[in-house]
Amino acid sequence: MMKATKIVVIEDEKDIRDVIVYNLQREGYTVFAAETGEDGLQLINDRGPDLIILDIMLPGIDGLSVCQQVRTDSLTKAIPIIVVSAKEEESDVIIGLGLGADDYVTKPFSPRELLARVRTVLRRTGYRERPEENRVKIKDLLIDVVKHEVRLSGKIVPLTATEFKILYQLASQPGRAFSREQLLHRALGEGVVRVTRNIDVHIRALRKKLAPADDMIDTIRGIGYRFVSE
């Protein structure tokens, strides 16, 4: 599945944030920007980005705490992080790298320097390009992302593109609860009409097609859905 690479930028200084966002967008990345650590964590959770660019000195939750939280959540811990710091915060950079940040840039930096780091980190981490992510096998269900094919006990299950994405999102993290919002953003991508009830319609169709194994998709009342692997 070719998807635009999504980057979340967390930076409270508007001028710097605008420069980062502008340059990333010009390179074709899909960018979501936040001014605070709180909003940034929310964006990371909702959008499931491929990379995070994180300023250290933020009002409220600072960058190091954001880094720590991203690394302790099983859903976000593999997302690469580039830390942005001022020269006088170099000891924070060391802490940040210790907390699992992948790289850093020091202010002032040129857009060219930042973009080079972004490319390098994305290439090095190979996020979303790891081969083991291209196939999901759970009991009798096999999802092959490269072939865009789902098989149940060896038999092809004909799914729409949307159903495929929703099933892949759920099954690639069995046991994990997804809200309807998260499924919308992560499976269907950006620019979709945000009618969360749509998800229920797709889930209903999916279950029908997956019968008799339709109980693999579990409804969590008031929240959303989860893939059951046990």
Token pair of 182 as six digits? 């998260």
55 or 92: CB nearest Ca ion = 55
CB of 208 to Ca ion, least distance (A): 50
Would you tell me which residues interact with Ca ion (CB under 5 A)? 12, 55, 57
CB of 49 to Ca ion, least distance (A): 19
Which DSSP string do the residues of 185-202 spell out, in sequence order?
HHHH-TT----THHHHHH
Q: How far apart are CA 216 and CA 161, in angstroms?
A: 19
Token pair of 132 as six digits? 């083991």
9 or 170: CB nearest Ca ion = 9
CA quadruple 115, 117, 120, 123: dihedral sign: negative
Which residue of this chain has its Cβ atom nearest to Ca ion in the complex?
Answer: 57
Contact in structure between 79 and 99 (CB atoms under 8 Å): no
CB of 43 to Ca ion, least distance (A): 17
57 or 138: CB nearest Ca ion = 57
Number of residues written out for the chain: 230
E strands along 46-182, which residues? 51-55, 81-86, 103-107, 135-138, 141-144, 149-152, 155-156, 177-179
Q: Taking Cα atoms as reference points, which of 27, 47, 38 lies closest to residue 19?
A: 27
* Identity at 146, one-letter amino acid code: V
CB of 57 to Ca ion, least distance (A): 4
CB of 119 to Ca ion, least distance (A): 24
15 or 230: CB nearest Ca ion = 15
57 or 75: CB nearest Ca ion = 57
CB of 34 to Ca ion, least distance (A): 12
62 or 149: CB nearest Ca ion = 62
